[in-house]
Structure 1
Amino acid sequence: MAKLTKKQKEAHGKIDKNKNYSILEASALVKEITNANFDASVDIAVRLGVDPRKANQMVRGVVTLPHGTGKDVKVLALVTPDKAAEATEAGADYVGLDEYLEKIKSGWTDVDVIITMPSVMGKLGPLGRILGPRGLMPNPKTGTVTMDVAKAVTEVKAGKIDFKVDKTGIVHAGIGKVSFSAEQISENAKELLETLVKLKPTAAKGVYVKTIYMSSTMSPSVALDPKVV
């Protein structure tokens, strides 16, 4: 195991390993124990009592964080010419169709979200092996395949994120930056957790929210009380 630096030891020393913190307490503590010389991201990891291998226990959804993510989200709008102007006005960073499909085929994926229209999805199918592993394939369930392109772009830019339980039963999501106030981090976390609870599959038995941990890019993790939601 790597040796901890003095600052890392101090950070670990401020965490009570026998305590499950409230959302606000954890938010304040993560800010306190982050010593990065950049604006670190704040992340949350929620272990769910589901079996993601079963289709009826898959948990996936979208949430609009009240204070955004703090990240400048780069959006590509793959749209027909008649929708290009509204996508540009809504704030999409890249707007077009065939020229960007060719770029993606060549391996270009320098965006965070791709928004497109139902009529374009057929052209995106062959690019699944490039976009899928990077989590960039548009999906009607997350609102990234829509005729209301302007609304979708605006929502993503304002802090709308999508999340999906991984194969180990954990949902990972970025909920802000260390520069946010503890209250802003807390409110973003609460919005995500409340959304997760609403998505509990009927097939999931027993305890649904098993553990919740909050951390920053450069901090140890802080355990939250799973009963907060």
Structure 2
Amino acid sequence: MPKHGKKYLEAAKKIDRTREYSPREALELVKETAYANFDETVELHIRTNLDPRKADQQIRGTVVLPHGTGKQVRVLVFAEGDAAKAAEEAGADYVGGEDLAQKIQQGWTDFDVAIATPDMMRIVGRLGRILGPRGLMPSPKAGTVVPPEDLPRVIKEAKAGRIEYRLDKTANIHVPIGKVSFSVDQLLENMAAVMEAIVNNRPAGAKGQMIRRVAVTSTMGPGVRVSVAEASQLRTS
């Protein structure tokens, strides 16, 4: 078992480990028990009964958080010509083609989202070993390989707080839903957006109750279990 510090142990005493809290109560506890001297990220963790080895039980998608992530998102776009100009006008932080690819191959990854037009995948394809493990590889499934006319919308969504959710190898989904400095209402609305997207994106091969466990936590704080039934019923409207 990992050893926790005094502050963590004091925070953990405020949480009943045997109880599943309502989403609002859980988020209130996360804010109350956050003790780090920086603005911690609030994370949503979902345990599913899906089998990540089966193609018909994969779940992956994107959702725009109503209140963003609280983080300044640096967007890189692989585009050329008029598409590159449109990306720059839409607020992309980095725009280019072969020049950016070479820079990345030399170890540079100081960006949070990578977007590409389909014609640029001939260049982007060779960056898979670098971008893939970091979750930065442009992909049609993630909505980050888009035609030039969609670039402005996708860039603005990324800047506004569009996040990707996906099933990992242990059948879990982990996503940020804001910062400890957010109000409980803001965090709850962000959490509702994620839960609604996941529930509505139920894979064809899913059997029985897809979501087994839900928890929220801050970067350094203890986890708080959330009622699966109440979390699954959250809606943005």
Please give the secondary structure, in 2, of the residue aligned with 1:141. Answer: coil
Partner of 2:235: none
Aligned counterpart in structure 2 of residue 165 of structure 1, from 164, 167, 172: 167
Structure 1 stretches lacking a partner, 5+ long: none
Tell me the equivalent position of 2:116. Answer: 116
Q: Structure 2: state its 5+ residue gaps.
A: 233-237
Query: Matched residues in 2 for 1:30 and 1:211: separation?
Result: 17
Alpha-carbon distance in structure 1 between the residues aligned to 2:225 and 2:3: 22
Q: Shift of the alpha carbon at 1:37?
A: 0.6
- C-alpha distance in structure 2 between counterparts of 1:109 and 1:90, whole Å: 21
What TM-score do the two structures reach when normalised by structure 1?
0.96
Q: Which sits farther off after the overlay, 26-35 or 121-130?
A: 121-130
Quote the residue 1:149 is aligned against. 151
Counterpart for residue 229 of structure 2: 227
CA contact (8 A) 1:116 1:144 kept: yes
Hey, what's the Cα distance between the residues in 1 that align with 2:67 and 2:165? 17
CA contact under 8 A between 1:27 and 1:185: conserved in structure 2?
yes
In structure 2, the partner of 1:125 is 125
> In the aligned structure 2, how far is the partner of 1:2 from the partner of 1:112?
30
Q: How many residues align?
A: 229
Instruction: Please show how residues 1-229 of structure 1 align to structure 2 within 5 Å.
Output: 1=1, 3-147=3-147, 148-228=150-230, 229=232
Letter in structure 1 aligned against 2:208: G
In 2, are the aligned partners of 1:81 and 1:96 still within 8 Å (CA)? no
Tell me the amino acid that sits aligned with residue 220 of structure 1: P
Give CA deviations for 1:168-215 in whole Å, capped at 9, x if unaligned.
100000110000001111111111011111111121112211001100
